[in-house]
């Protein structure tokens, strides 16, 4: 008899459930425990998240370039 898969939140690893649902703390989808790069997978699942990541990277790069002057 195999154990039921355990699901966790990418942002709150202490949140665990026996089925895939939503995290009660942040609302993110729970992923199978042991999934590789769960937060990155979540971020790449939405065009909005990708846009936010690109904007944040550009802002950090611009700030770094201004500091180098």
- The CA distance from 53 to 21, in Å, is 25
> What confidence tier does 4 reach under pLDDT thresholds 50, 70, 90?
low
How does DSSP assign 29-58, residue by residue?
BPEETT-SSHHHHHHTT-HHHHHHHHHHHH
Write down the number of H helices and E strands in the chain: 2, 3
The answer to whether the predicted template modeling score (pTM) of the entire model surpasses 0.75 is no
Convert the pLDDT of each residue in 31-66 to its tens digit.
888 777 777 777 777 788 889 889 999 999 999 999
Structure tokens at 26: 């942040």
- Select the more confidently predicted residue: 19 or 45: 19
């Amino acid at each position: 008899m195999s154990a039921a898969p355990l699901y966790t939140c990418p942002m709150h690893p202490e949140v665990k459930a026996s089925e895939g649902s939503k995290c009660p703390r942040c609302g993110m989808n729970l992923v199978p425990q042991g999934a590789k790069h769960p937060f990155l997978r979540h971020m790449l699942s939405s065009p909005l998240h990708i846009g936010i990541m690109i904007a944040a990277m550009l802002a950090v790069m611009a700030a770094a370039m201004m500091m180098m002057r």
